[in-house]
Structure 1
């Protein structure tokens, strides 16, 4: 306990002050927050900007090669939506850095919840599209209608609307606000954003995890389907990483304070976004840029003929 001693009596220093080393005077605490100028804030800022730039480059590559079989086979519209969402998601992590205010406190959590909802519902739509195309038990006419009408794409606005309602209730009832942590660092008052309602925060996170679970289940069911450009395995891997990141996040987040707590949330946002970008789009960029012969109708026919001849040899044997 920090005390100020004066002759034969003592008194506790106010929350905004701390006792000096001689315990005979109270000193004003300095205000601190996760700033861009300090090493941790600078490292996180550079990471976010670099990966947002990388995402923009990948988006340009996909748009430039939008008419190739690989991009078409993996639903280019959904790929564009996912890449654009990841680009904004990387930039949204910058809301956590710098001196917080009421607006940024609200935007931090709502932007996080809505952007990841769009990303995960896009992954879910991708996985369901593969299921409908190759493993559907409904009549062929119904499958054709589902594919032509792009019904799986409606998953994105529906899932996002649910998250918008949850975030709206959160903002109206108990919104995030500016808070002061006077005990995290000696001699400093840490300015942080208090999430307001912990129930609402965990509801948003739980909804995201349910979307990730649904996406993983759909991708896992379609992982072995015979499509030349089947991305189900990469979708399931990305969802596994997403689960690991955010399941690890909760206990660590609640056991830290001050700037470390803020940095932990930024790290989880960046790590899960990098997982989606790397595991889903890196294999596609490898084929598009380094193995263009595989990204052609001729390459697909050659691969199918090779499989057919292999199967015939096995039958003969």
Structure 2
């Protein structure tokens, strides 16, 4: 089984690793946010729209490693995904979750699910879309990542949410969560909570969970862990980028891919590489570089798995 604890990208001077436990690993999702949402945390507006410039700027890196950067990304995506969850109506059809999400408490399982889905967004960005870390590192140093409009972002998250709910078969779980709401699922003394309290039919011995406990333990149903949510207290990886030795990995590549890898590591442009290896367009080179980065990720995962097999007995 592949162990994917990091993202990898081929860059001039080598292959770099972005640990999934680091704040930087959320940068692909950050660059997809529209300006209207990033404005909720004004310091993030100053972050360069080019990953090379960002990594070279200590002030920008301080912003990224701040917990507020994580909260910005997580809250924006959770709030956006929430808009697209569908819950059953009494007539058998489906509808958006009614009311303002502020009417619901941190104990509401769908609130927690809106945070759980974020890691699936990140995986989609990295593996199935043109938003991977390798794409960020293929940009020229003078280019800037464009801002998505609010509508573009909404369309993106709506499509991804529908896709992930279907792929993970979450709809039956969402249905059960909605049908089995209890008073703790509503916040404060809202009208929604007062109305619901008049007719709720659940076990009145339910246990209250704090937000901190949710973050630490995830959701438990009948003793089974359904999902985890990101822990905002997770320690930032001080060593964000790590250059990895590639000699053994390189032996597994074709001669053409070896040439592409070496030329890219030496700083050659995509246009120069295309001319050297006989490709018609630089975009064909970028696809090969993405393939090489993915193969390296699989290689590292395989090596780590073999190490565990030998030493974890």
Q: Same fold (TM over 0.5)?
A: no
The TM-score, its normalising length taken from structure 2, stands at: 0.26
Give the number of the structure with larger relative contact order, counting CA–CA contacts within 8 Å between residues 6 or more apart: 2
When normalised by structure 1's length, the TM-score is: 0.26
The structure whose Rg is larger is: 1
